[in-house]
Amino acid sequence: MRRALPAVLLALGLLLTAFSVSAQSKSSVQVLAIGSDDAFEQAQALTIALKRAITRTEGWSLLKGDYSLEVMTAALGCPIPPDSGCQKKIGAKVGSNRYIWGTLAKSGKKDVVAVLRLWENGEQKKDAHIKYAANLTDPSDDSLMAIASDAFAKLTGEATGVVVVTAGSVNGKIFVDGKEVGVVTDGRTELTLPSGDHKIMVRAEGFNDALGTVSVRAGSSAEVALNPTPASDGKPAGDDPTLDKKSGGTGKMLGYIGIGVGGALVLTGSYFGIQTLGQIKDSEYEDYRKTAVPEGEDACKYAEATGRSDIVDVCDRNKRDKTLFWVLTPVGAVLAGVGVYLLASGDDKPASAKPPRVQPMLGLGPRGGELRVNVAF
């Protein structure tokens, strides 16, 4: 038993040494209570969540002690925020060459914004700006813990997370925030991205571009499931998906123009049609036709032959207005019809679809001049 005692003491000494080395290998940091003028509950919750996040972060340890930025600056006669000289004094007071301090304020009715700063070895290192919902006042809330962990990762290094992207079974390229970053093989790839919100796009031959968004948290993983659809409309892979929308938008614009112009022409033609009816009922013309024109004679031709210029003027206006009525009204109706067609099919029609062809034709009919309009879709 006595022989075994030295061996036990030696093993215990080695174990304590290992623990000591492990503790020394960790980076220590102090956290000052986050200051606020209008959101004390949120500031207190974020302070506690930040301390818990540090204790859960591998390679880091939280120094003991409860310190307040307001109390420290008041005691040292420093402004808020403290200048570089005061930050050195605060570091000496808290007994650490590395500490985190920050401020928090309300932003609108539903959010708060915080600015956290890491002071290390006598100088300001990094800032972390965060904005989140003001109703997160429980330090143990998973969402607030994730926000605190993300902020600490930003302060101490590049905050990254893992994103797994699935896209059916396609093989193609993957883009993050508009930049090509790799390939998708058999519909799957894994990315390491900076924390924050990102736009993901998968582009594969024979498929429409598949789009999605993801929010990355530092030290965590997320998954984005995309569903590329076959490019059955004949578009080559890689076309901007907004092209069809733009084409539909152009079709709608032309449709509105067609309806507007066509409606105006119909109204104008109708006006001249009404004028024609008024001229036929002109009292002077009617008296002349009934009293001076022989039975069976055309009143306008007879007035021209007998030198009645006033009646001839009425006849000329009637002929002109009738012509304008028969030209403007059908043309306006056709334009309005084409406009309705473009409005109805503007969003669904492929970009390569041909617009309707309108072919006007003038000719002679049994009653004089006539206008024919052929529309082919």
pLDDT digits (tens, 9 = 90+) for 268-298: 888 877 777 766 667 777 777 778 888 878 8
- The DSSP secondary-structure symbol of 230 reads B
- pLDDT over 90 at 136, yes or no: yes
- Across all residues in the chain, what is the average pLDDT? 78
Q: What percent of the chain has pLDDT over 70?
A: 77
> For 4, phi and psi rounded to 5 degrees?
-80, -20
pLDDT at 243: 42
pLDDT at 34: 92
How far is it, in rounded angstroms, from Cα 117 to Cα 127?
5
Tokens of 36: 């606020």
How far is it, in rounded angstroms, from Cα 92 to Cα 113?
29
Q: Which of 256, 258, 248, 272 is nearest to 327 (CA)?
A: 272
Structure confidence by residue, pLDDT tens digits, 176-206: 999 988 889 999 998 888 777 899 999 999 9
How far is it, in rounded angstroms, from Cα 371 to Cα 361?
6
Structure confidence by residue, pLDDT tens digits, 42-101: 999 999 999 998 888 878 889 988 888 788 888 888 887 778 788 888 888 888 888 998
> In this structure, are residues 75 and 32 in contact, taking their beta carbons and an 8 Å threshold?
no
Q: What percent of the chain has pLDDT over 90?
A: 24
pLDDT at 3: 52
